[in-house]
Amino acid sequence: MPNQELFNTRVNRIMTAATLGKPDQIPVVLTADAFCAKHMGVKLADFIKDYNFGAEIMLKSFLDLGGVDGVQCLVPAAMEINNSWLSRYKLPGRELGDDELWQVNELEVMHPEDYDDVIKKGYNRFCNDIVIQRLGGTGAEMEPMLSAAPAAAQNAIEAGIVPFVGGVSTIPYETFCGGRTMAKFMQDLFKIPDKVQEAMDASMPDIIGDAKGMVAMAKPLSVWVGGWRTASQFLSRKLWERFVWPYFKMLTEAFIDEGVIPTLHLDADWERDLNYLLELPKGKFIFSPDGATDMYKAKEILDGHACFMGDVPPAMLALGTVDGVYNYSRKLISDFGPSGYILSQGCCIPPNAKVENVKAMIAAATGK
Protein backbone atom coordinates (compact mmCIF):
# COMPACT_ATOMS: atom_id res chain seq x y z
CA MET A 1 0.00 0.00 0.00
CA PRO A 2 1.48 3.44 -0.91
CA ASN A 3 2.43 5.48 2.13
CA GLN A 4 -0.17 8.22 1.50
CA GLU A 5 -2.92 5.62 1.25
CA LEU A 6 -1.56 3.89 4.34
CA PHE A 7 -1.53 7.19 6.23
CA ASN A 8 -5.15 7.92 5.26
CA THR A 9 -6.21 4.42 6.32
CA ARG A 10 -4.51 4.84 9.66
CA VAL A 11 -6.01 8.28 10.30
CA ASN A 12 -9.45 6.86 9.64
CA ARG A 13 -8.72 3.85 11.83
CA ILE A 14 -7.58 5.96 14.79
CA MET A 15 -10.28 8.61 14.50
CA THR A 16 -13.01 5.99 14.15
CA ALA A 17 -11.91 4.38 17.41
CA ALA A 18 -11.44 7.75 19.12
CA THR A 19 -15.05 8.71 18.37
CA LEU A 20 -16.40 5.35 19.60
CA GLY A 21 -16.77 3.74 16.19
CA LYS A 22 -15.62 0.30 15.06
CA PRO A 23 -12.44 0.53 12.94
CA ASP A 24 -11.23 -2.03 10.42
CA GLN A 25 -8.77 -3.22 13.08
CA ILE A 26 -7.70 -2.08 16.53
CA PRO A 27 -5.32 0.88 16.10
CA VAL A 28 -1.92 0.95 17.78
CA VAL A 29 -0.75 4.35 19.05
CA LEU A 30 2.53 4.47 20.97
CA THR A 31 4.33 6.92 23.24
CA ALA A 32 8.10 6.49 23.36
CA ASP A 33 11.26 8.54 23.12
CA ALA A 34 14.19 7.27 25.22
CA PHE A 35 13.15 3.72 24.30
CA CYS A 36 13.67 4.60 20.64
CA ALA A 37 17.25 5.69 21.31
CA LYS A 38 17.98 2.45 23.16
CA HIS A 39 16.28 0.45 20.41
CA MET A 40 18.45 2.10 17.74
CA GLY A 41 21.66 1.90 19.81
CA VAL A 42 22.03 5.67 20.29
CA LYS A 43 23.29 7.23 23.53
CA LEU A 44 20.78 9.53 25.18
CA ALA A 45 23.23 12.44 25.20
CA ASP A 46 23.48 12.22 21.40
CA PHE A 47 19.74 11.62 21.12
CA ILE A 48 18.88 15.00 22.65
CA LYS A 49 21.87 17.02 21.44
CA ASP A 50 20.12 17.62 18.12
CA TYR A 51 16.34 17.29 18.19
CA ASN A 52 16.14 16.78 14.44
CA PHE A 53 18.50 13.83 14.83
CA GLY A 54 16.46 12.58 17.79
CA ALA A 55 13.29 12.75 15.70
CA GLU A 56 14.97 10.74 12.93
CA ILE A 57 15.93 8.05 15.45
CA MET A 58 12.39 7.89 16.79
CA LEU A 59 10.90 7.47 13.34
CA LYS A 60 13.41 4.73 12.49
CA SER A 61 12.43 2.94 15.69
CA PHE A 62 8.70 3.13 14.95
CA LEU A 63 9.22 1.89 11.41
CA ASP A 64 11.37 -1.00 12.63
CA LEU A 65 8.69 -2.02 15.13
CA GLY A 66 6.18 -2.26 12.28
CA GLY A 67 2.40 -1.93 12.53
CA VAL A 68 2.45 1.36 14.42
CA ASP A 69 -0.58 3.37 13.28
CA GLY A 70 0.17 6.53 15.22
CA VAL A 71 2.43 8.07 17.82
CA GLN A 72 1.91 10.57 20.60
CA CYS A 73 5.31 12.24 20.34
CA LEU A 74 7.82 12.58 17.53
CA VAL A 75 10.68 14.48 19.16
CA PRO A 76 12.50 13.72 22.45
CA ALA A 77 10.57 15.18 25.38
CA ALA A 78 13.57 15.66 27.65
CA MET A 79 12.82 19.24 28.65
CA GLU A 80 9.07 19.44 28.21
CA ILE A 81 8.35 19.00 31.90
CA ASN A 82 10.48 22.04 32.75
CA ASN A 83 7.73 24.49 31.80
CA SER A 84 4.86 22.32 33.02
CA TRP A 85 6.30 21.98 36.51
CA LEU A 86 8.55 25.07 36.76
CA SER A 87 11.41 22.77 37.64
CA ARG A 88 15.06 22.43 36.79
CA TYR A 89 16.14 19.40 34.85
CA LYS A 90 19.24 17.25 34.59
CA LEU A 91 20.26 16.04 31.16
CA PRO A 92 22.45 13.20 29.88
CA GLY A 93 25.81 14.53 28.77
CA ARG A 94 25.42 17.59 30.98
CA GLU A 95 24.70 16.85 34.65
CA LEU A 96 24.30 13.13 34.00
CA GLY A 97 26.21 10.38 32.28
CA ASP A 98 25.93 10.09 28.50
CA ASP A 99 23.36 7.30 28.67
CA GLU A 100 21.46 8.21 31.85
CA LEU A 101 17.80 9.17 31.52
CA TRP A 102 16.94 12.86 31.97
CA GLN A 103 15.50 13.81 35.36
CA VAL A 104 13.35 16.52 36.92
CA ASN A 105 15.24 18.22 39.74
CA GLU A 106 12.41 19.70 41.77
CA LEU A 107 13.33 22.59 44.06
CA GLU A 108 11.29 25.41 45.52
CA VAL A 109 11.42 28.23 42.97
CA MET A 110 7.97 29.65 43.68
CA HIS A 111 7.05 31.23 47.02
CA PRO A 112 3.73 32.05 48.71
CA GLU A 113 3.94 35.74 47.79
CA ASP A 114 4.24 34.76 44.13
CA TYR A 115 0.55 33.95 43.92
CA ASP A 116 -0.01 37.72 43.99
CA ASP A 117 2.33 38.09 41.01
CA VAL A 118 0.27 35.55 39.07
CA ILE A 119 -2.87 37.51 39.89
CA LYS A 120 -1.33 40.86 38.88
CA LYS A 121 0.86 39.87 35.92
CA GLY A 122 -0.98 36.89 34.49
CA TYR A 123 0.15 33.30 34.20
CA ASN A 124 2.40 33.55 31.16
CA ARG A 125 4.33 36.59 32.34
CA PHE A 126 4.83 35.01 35.75
CA CYS A 127 6.03 31.68 34.33
CA ASN A 128 8.44 33.39 31.94
CA ASP A 129 9.92 35.37 34.82
CA ILE A 130 10.38 32.19 36.84
CA VAL A 131 12.12 30.39 33.98
CA ILE A 132 14.49 33.28 33.31
CA GLN A 133 15.17 34.66 36.79
CA ARG A 134 15.04 31.60 39.02
CA LEU A 135 15.62 28.58 36.83
CA GLY A 136 18.52 30.26 35.09
CA GLY A 137 17.02 29.82 31.66
CA THR A 138 16.64 32.18 28.77
CA GLY A 139 13.10 31.25 27.86
CA ALA A 140 14.42 29.60 24.69
CA GLU A 141 15.33 26.11 25.97
CA MET A 142 12.20 24.66 24.39
CA GLU A 143 12.87 26.20 20.98
CA PRO A 144 15.02 23.36 19.53
CA MET A 145 12.34 20.83 20.42
CA LEU A 146 9.50 22.99 19.08
CA SER A 147 11.33 23.88 15.88
CA ALA A 148 12.05 20.21 15.13
CA ALA A 149 8.41 19.18 15.50
CA PRO A 150 6.97 20.28 12.10
CA ALA A 151 9.57 18.41 10.05
CA ALA A 152 9.25 15.39 12.33
CA ALA A 153 5.49 15.34 11.78
CA GLN A 154 5.85 15.66 8.01
CA ASN A 155 8.43 12.87 7.88
CA ALA A 156 6.09 10.61 9.84
CA ILE A 157 3.20 11.39 7.52
CA GLU A 158 5.34 10.60 4.48
CA ALA A 159 6.22 7.27 6.11
CA GLY A 160 2.54 6.49 6.68
CA ILE A 161 2.53 7.05 10.46
CA VAL A 162 -0.01 9.38 12.07
CA PRO A 163 1.28 12.15 14.39
CA PHE A 164 -1.73 11.79 16.65
CA VAL A 165 -0.92 14.10 19.57
CA GLY A 166 0.23 17.58 18.62
CA GLY A 167 0.76 19.29 21.96
CA VAL A 168 0.58 19.15 25.74
CA SER A 169 -1.39 21.32 28.15
CA THR A 170 -2.25 21.19 31.81
CA ILE A 171 -3.90 23.15 34.59
CA PRO A 172 -2.42 25.60 37.14
CA TYR A 173 -2.38 22.97 39.89
CA GLU A 174 0.39 21.03 38.14
CA THR A 175 2.52 24.11 37.50
CA PHE A 176 2.17 25.55 40.99
CA CYS A 177 2.77 22.15 42.57
CA GLY A 178 6.05 21.80 40.71
CA GLY A 179 7.23 25.33 41.40
CA ARG A 180 6.35 25.23 45.09
CA THR A 181 7.29 21.53 45.51
CA MET A 182 4.58 19.05 46.27
CA ALA A 183 4.91 19.21 50.07
CA LYS A 184 4.75 23.01 50.29
CA PHE A 185 1.98 23.31 47.73
CA MET A 186 -0.15 20.92 49.76
CA GLN A 187 0.38 23.21 52.75
CA ASP A 188 -0.75 26.17 50.66
CA LEU A 189 -4.04 24.42 49.91
CA PHE A 190 -4.78 24.48 53.64
CA LYS A 191 -3.07 27.71 54.75
CA ILE A 192 -3.99 30.09 51.89
CA PRO A 193 -6.63 28.30 49.82
CA ASP A 194 -8.42 31.46 48.67
CA LYS A 195 -5.17 32.97 47.39
CA VAL A 196 -4.30 29.77 45.52
CA GLN A 197 -7.75 29.66 43.92
CA GLU A 198 -7.55 33.32 42.92
CA ALA A 199 -4.20 32.68 41.24
CA MET A 200 -5.62 29.62 39.47
CA ASP A 201 -8.58 31.64 38.22
CA ALA A 202 -6.22 34.36 36.99
CA SER A 203 -4.14 31.75 35.14
CA MET A 204 -6.86 30.19 33.03
CA PRO A 205 -7.27 32.97 30.42
CA ASP A 206 -3.60 32.59 29.42
CA ILE A 207 -3.76 28.78 29.51
CA ILE A 208 -6.92 28.68 27.40
CA GLY A 209 -5.48 31.28 25.03
CA ASP A 210 -2.32 29.24 24.62
CA ALA A 211 -4.42 26.11 24.02
CA LYS A 212 -6.36 27.79 21.23
CA GLY A 213 -3.15 29.17 19.75
CA MET A 214 -1.60 25.71 19.76
CA VAL A 215 -4.59 24.28 17.91
CA ALA A 216 -4.60 27.11 15.35
CA MET A 217 -0.90 26.66 14.64
CA ALA A 218 -0.45 22.88 14.75
CA LYS A 219 -3.97 21.74 13.76
CA PRO A 220 -3.51 18.47 15.70
CA LEU A 221 -5.90 15.55 15.76
CA SER A 222 -5.43 15.31 19.52
CA VAL A 223 -3.63 17.00 22.40
CA TRP A 224 -2.56 15.75 25.78
CA VAL A 225 -4.38 17.19 28.76
CA GLY A 226 -1.96 16.09 31.45
CA GLY A 227 -3.02 14.90 34.87
CA TRP A 228 -0.16 13.77 37.07
CA ARG A 229 -0.24 15.08 40.64
CA THR A 230 -3.88 15.99 40.22
CA ALA A 231 -4.91 12.35 40.58
CA SER A 232 -7.61 11.47 43.09
CA GLN A 233 -5.25 9.42 45.21
CA PHE A 234 -3.33 12.52 46.30
CA LEU A 235 -6.21 14.72 47.47
CA SER A 236 -9.40 14.64 49.48
CA ARG A 237 -12.50 14.91 47.34
CA LYS A 238 -13.23 18.35 48.77
CA LEU A 239 -9.85 19.70 47.64
CA TRP A 240 -10.03 17.87 44.30
CA GLU A 241 -13.43 19.33 43.53
CA ARG A 242 -12.17 22.83 44.28
CA PHE A 243 -8.64 22.92 42.86
CA VAL A 244 -8.60 20.27 40.13
CA TRP A 245 -11.85 19.37 38.45
CA PRO A 246 -13.22 22.83 37.50
CA TYR A 247 -9.96 23.72 35.74
CA PHE A 248 -9.45 20.29 34.20
CA LYS A 249 -12.97 20.35 32.79
CA MET A 250 -12.57 23.90 31.51
CA LEU A 251 -9.33 23.09 29.68
CA THR A 252 -10.64 19.83 28.23
CA GLU A 253 -13.81 21.46 26.96
CA ALA A 254 -11.81 24.31 25.43
CA PHE A 255 -9.98 21.81 23.23
CA ILE A 256 -13.22 20.02 22.37
CA ASP A 257 -14.74 23.36 21.35
CA GLU A 258 -11.78 23.83 18.99
CA GLY A 259 -12.57 20.53 17.27
CA VAL A 260 -9.70 18.59 18.85
CA ILE A 261 -9.97 15.31 20.75
CA PRO A 262 -8.22 15.64 24.12
CA THR A 263 -6.24 12.61 25.21
CA LEU A 264 -6.56 12.65 28.99
CA HIS A 265 -3.12 11.41 29.97
CA LEU A 266 -3.89 10.40 33.55
CA ASP A 267 -0.99 9.17 35.66
CA ALA A 268 -1.55 7.66 39.13
CA ASP A 269 -4.93 6.47 40.42
CA TRP A 270 -8.04 8.39 39.30
CA GLU A 271 -10.56 5.70 40.26
CA ARG A 272 -12.42 7.66 42.94
CA ASP A 273 -13.52 10.45 40.62
CA LEU A 274 -13.97 8.74 37.27
CA ASN A 275 -17.68 9.52 37.30
CA TYR A 276 -16.85 13.22 36.86
CA LEU A 277 -15.62 12.43 33.36
CA LEU A 278 -19.24 11.73 32.43
CA GLU A 279 -19.70 15.51 32.50
CA LEU A 280 -17.53 15.73 29.38
CA PRO A 281 -19.21 15.25 25.97
CA LYS A 282 -19.68 11.66 24.86
CA GLY A 283 -17.26 10.42 22.22
CA LYS A 284 -15.15 13.58 22.35
CA PHE A 285 -12.19 12.53 24.51
CA ILE A 286 -9.82 9.64 25.18
CA PHE A 287 -9.23 8.06 28.57
CA SER A 288 -5.54 7.13 28.79
CA PRO A 289 -4.32 5.87 32.20
CA ASP A 290 -0.83 4.73 33.18
CA GLY A 291 -1.56 1.40 34.88
CA ALA A 292 -2.43 2.75 38.34
CA THR A 293 -6.12 3.31 37.55
CA ASP A 294 -8.02 0.05 37.15
CA MET A 295 -9.10 0.01 33.49
CA TYR A 296 -11.88 -2.44 34.22
CA LYS A 297 -13.41 -0.28 36.92
CA ALA A 298 -13.12 2.66 34.55
CA LYS A 299 -14.96 0.61 31.92
CA GLU A 300 -17.87 0.11 34.32
CA ILE A 301 -18.33 3.90 34.40
CA LEU A 302 -17.11 5.17 31.04
CA ASP A 303 -17.98 2.33 28.66
CA GLY A 304 -19.76 3.85 25.66
CA HIS A 305 -18.89 7.38 26.77
CA ALA A 306 -15.15 7.65 26.10
CA CYS A 307 -12.57 5.91 23.98
CA PHE A 308 -10.09 3.85 26.01
CA MET A 309 -6.37 3.91 25.26
CA GLY A 310 -3.85 1.59 26.88
CA ASP A 311 -2.99 0.01 29.09
CA VAL A 312 -0.13 -2.47 28.71
CA PRO A 313 1.99 -1.88 31.84
CA PRO A 314 5.47 -0.43 31.30
CA ALA A 315 6.85 -2.96 33.78
CA MET A 316 5.46 -5.80 31.69
CA LEU A 317 7.13 -4.41 28.57
CA ALA A 318 10.45 -4.27 30.44
CA LEU A 319 10.30 -7.44 32.53
CA GLY A 320 7.63 -9.64 31.00
CA THR A 321 7.74 -12.31 28.33
CA VAL A 322 6.65 -12.15 24.71
CA ASP A 323 3.78 -14.55 25.37
CA GLY A 324 2.74 -12.66 28.49
CA VAL A 325 2.62 -9.32 26.67
CA TYR A 326 0.83 -10.78 23.66
CA ASN A 327 -1.83 -12.52 25.74
CA TYR A 328 -2.37 -9.47 27.96
CA SER A 329 -2.79 -7.27 24.88
CA ARG A 330 -5.21 -9.72 23.26
CA LYS A 331 -7.32 -9.69 26.41
CA LEU A 332 -7.47 -5.90 26.37
CA ILE A 333 -8.56 -5.97 22.73
CA SER A 334 -11.22 -8.57 23.51
CA ASP A 335 -12.53 -6.80 26.60
CA PHE A 336 -12.41 -3.18 25.39
CA GLY A 337 -12.80 -3.50 21.62
CA PRO A 338 -13.81 -3.66 18.90
CA SER A 339 -15.31 -0.15 19.18
CA GLY A 340 -13.83 2.80 21.02
CA TYR A 341 -10.49 1.25 21.87
CA ILE A 342 -6.85 2.05 20.98
CA LEU A 343 -4.08 -0.34 22.00
CA SER A 344 -1.14 1.37 23.66
CA GLN A 345 1.26 1.18 26.56
CA GLY A 346 0.43 2.68 29.94
CA CYS A 347 1.99 6.17 30.06
CA CYS A 348 5.20 5.73 28.04
CA ILE A 349 7.28 2.80 26.81
CA PRO A 350 10.19 2.65 29.27
CA PRO A 351 13.78 2.91 28.04
CA ASN A 352 14.53 -0.62 29.18
CA ALA A 353 11.54 -2.23 27.44
CA LYS A 354 12.40 -5.32 25.43
CA VAL A 355 11.99 -4.72 21.72
CA GLU A 356 10.46 -8.17 21.28
CA ASN A 357 7.84 -7.34 23.94
CA VAL A 358 6.85 -4.11 22.22
CA LYS A 359 6.55 -5.99 18.93
CA ALA A 360 4.39 -8.61 20.68
CA MET A 361 2.01 -5.88 21.85
CA ILE A 362 1.72 -4.55 18.30
CA ALA A 363 1.26 -8.05 16.89
CA ALA A 364 -1.74 -8.55 19.16
CA ALA A 365 -3.57 -5.86 17.19
CA THR A 366 -2.17 -6.44 13.71
CA GLY A 367 -2.10 -10.22 13.74
CA LYS A 368 1.45 -10.16 12.36
368, pLDDT greater than 80:
no
For the chain, the first-to-last Cα distance in angstroms comes to 16
Q: What is the pLDDT of residue 322?
A: 98
Residue 84 pLDDT level (bands cut at 50, 70, 90): confident
In this prediction, residues 28-32 reach a mean pLDDT of: 98
CATH class for the region spanning 3-366: alpha beta
Of 14-23, 143-152, 293-302, the least confident? 143-152
As a whole number of angstroms, the distance between CA 307 and CA 30 comes to: 15
As a whole number of angstroms, the distance between CA 190 and CA 205 comes to: 25
* Residue 325 identity (one-letter amino acid): V
Full-model pTM: 0.96
138, pLDDT greater than 60:
no
105, pLDDT greater than 60:
yes
As a whole number of angstroms, the distance between CA 208 and CA 196 comes to: 18
In this prediction, residues 336-345 reach a mean pLDDT of: 98
| Run of H or E including 322 | helix 322-336
32, pLDDT greater than 60:
yes
